[in-house]
Amino acid sequence: ADLIRTPASDPSAPPPPVPAPPYPVCHYLQQISRLSRTMSVPSGATKYASLYTAQSSDGVLRLGNIVPDFASDTTHGYMPSFHDWIGDSWAILFSHPADFTPVCTTEIGRLAIKYKELSDMGVKVATLSCNKVDDHKKWLSDVVSHCENGITIDFPIIGDESRDVAVKYGMLDPSEKDKDGLPLTCRAVFIIGPDKKLKLMLNYPASVGRNMDEIVRATKALQLSAKASIATPANWPNNHENIGKRGWVFLLPTVTEEDQKKHFPMCHTCKVPSGINYLRLTPADDKAADAPMGFMAKLKKAFAMCSTPTSAN
């Protein structure tokens, strides 16, 4: 559970009500200011997520929203509830424009190569296009044959010929149409947390294939920030090599100096001309041999234990 400090005058004070959208800038500033005063380790992501509503008033899926539930046929059989299928896991929903197309063939192949790594991270994977499930099954033979690695497709591919799911998730690309003039899905990626909320969304055009390494990297970063009050720098984990801090992560401004010393003893503050100590780096794991087992090391060990998929999932 998050460690929360509430104002001494009213320890049980609930958070202020969320106004109806569109939200004024002052609302966000007030919420962020309150979080900075009250929140500390281990996780800031949960509290920052409180700035978002469960659903958008206009029905458009945005970060922090609960993703739409749906039922559909898949290559693994009927899926009565997408939410139930996710369970308590993280999940990634991909969409691709169409079966029997070149870029999509390579994407599903590369995703199959990364599937075990994602599964080991406690992440479920499903893909979708507007084709029939029977077409998916026929096409997968081509995917396996073309991929240079010996692969199996161990994740379900959803058939959304009606485009019901594509509309709910805003996946349709009006510039790409099938032979009947109906819009196809873009190359979308939705990374979803165990709370069924959208954590990250990517939309690529049909002409650009996705980098599966980046999707895995982003998922790892999201999982880490969900467990502790940290944020991953640009190019993480290949960051700050010039100062010997490769793979280190930033502490959020919500981490007080007191908690920094207590939970992040190896923290390194980068000095900048402004003199403001906001660039606070800490290792994602305690690498120093003489360092005690700090918060991040304990976190990594606990996270490794709880991330192992179970048969119930």
Look up residue 133 and give its amino acid: V
Look up residue 185 and give its amino acid: T
Question: 112 CB contacts (<8 Å, ≥6 apart)?
Answer: 143, 147, 151, 152, 153, 154, 155
The yes-or-no answer on residue 195 being catalytic is: yes
Given 2, 134, 195, 213, the catalytic residue: 195
Given 99, 104, 130, 286, the catalytic residue: 104
Question: 98 CB contacts (<8 Å, ≥6 apart)?
Answer: 104, 129, 130, 131, 178, 184
The yes-or-no answer on residue 104 being catalytic is: yes
Pairing mode, strands 157-159 and 230-231? unpaired
Instruction: Compute the residue count for the chain.
Output: 313
In our burial notation (b when 16+ CB lie closer than 10 A, e otherwise), range 97-111 reads bbbeeebbbbbbbbb
Helices (H), the chain: 25-38, 45-48, 82-86, 102-120, 133-146, 164-169, 212-227, 257-263, 295-306
Sign of the alpha-carbon torsion through 293, 296, 302, 308: negative
* Nearest Cα residue to 224 out of 233, 216, 232: 232
Which of the residues are catalytic?
104, 195
